[in-house]
Amino acid sequence: MANYMQVNVAELSWEEVKEHIYTLDGSLPDTYVLDVNCDDWYMWVDFINTNYKVVFRYTNEQEHEKIDFAAVLECWNNVDAENWPLARIFVGDIQIRCFFLAEDIIDGDIDPREFKKPDDHLQLIHYLTSISKLLGKQVVVLSEGTRIEDNNRFNPEPLLTIQQGGIWTSEYWL
C-alpha cells in the first residue's frame, strides 16, 4: 500500500471535493467508525435520534421516526435473522443509509449523486466530525470495496479521515 501525503480538506476547492471524493462512478462510498462497542452504539443512536430526521425499518414493519436499538440488538443476537434493520439518516439534503451489519462498526452508505452543492459536503463533514468527537474515535469515508487490513489500515486509502478535529484526505490524485 502506498503512503500518500495527507491534505487538509479545507484547502480543497468544491470542484476538487466533488471530483475526487464524491466521484460519480456508480459506487456508494461508506462511512465507518471502527472498533465500536455497545456503549458507542447507544451514544450514536441517542445522538442520531435527537439531532437528525430518521426513517427506521425493521423486518417488514412500517417505518419509524427513531432508531429502535432494541430491534438492532435482537437482530445481532439472532444469527438466522432474515431481515436486517435499515436506518436512513437525513443530513441536510443527503441521506446516510445504515445497515447495522456488524456490532463493531458503525457503517453508512452515501450516494455521491446527492452532493450537488458545497453545503451538502459541509453538512456531511459536520455530521462525521460530531460523531468523531462524541465517540472519541476516528471516522473514515471509504471507496466502495475498500479492504480493511490489520491495524485498521485501508487499501485504498480513505477518501476522508476525521479525527481529533482534523479532516484529511489522501492526495492520491495529484
Q: Is 33 contained in some domain?
A: yes
pTM metric for this prediction: 0.91
158 pLDDT band, cuts 50/70/90, is: very high
Q: Is 102 contained in some domain?
A: yes
pLDDT at 170: 77
pLDDT at 2: 45
pLDDT at 174: 46
Structural domains counted in the chain = 1
Q: What are phi and psi of 110, to 5 degrees?
A: -125, 155
Q: Is 112 contained in some domain?
A: yes
Q: Is 119 contained in some domain?
A: yes
Domain with 134, as residue range(s), is 6-170
- Axis-axis angle for helices 118-135, 38-51 (nearest 10): 140
Cα 142 to Cα 20, 74, 113, 132: the distances in Å are 12, 28, 16, 15
User: What is the distance between the alpha carbons of residues 156 and 124, in angstroms, rounded to a whole number?
Assistant: 21
User: What is the distance between the alpha carbons of residues 153 and 125, in angstroms, rounded to a whole number?
Assistant: 21
Mean pLDDT of the 41-52 span: 98
85 pLDDT band, cuts 50/70/90, is: very high
Q: Is 1 contained in some domain?
A: no
Q: Is 160 contained in some domain?
A: yes
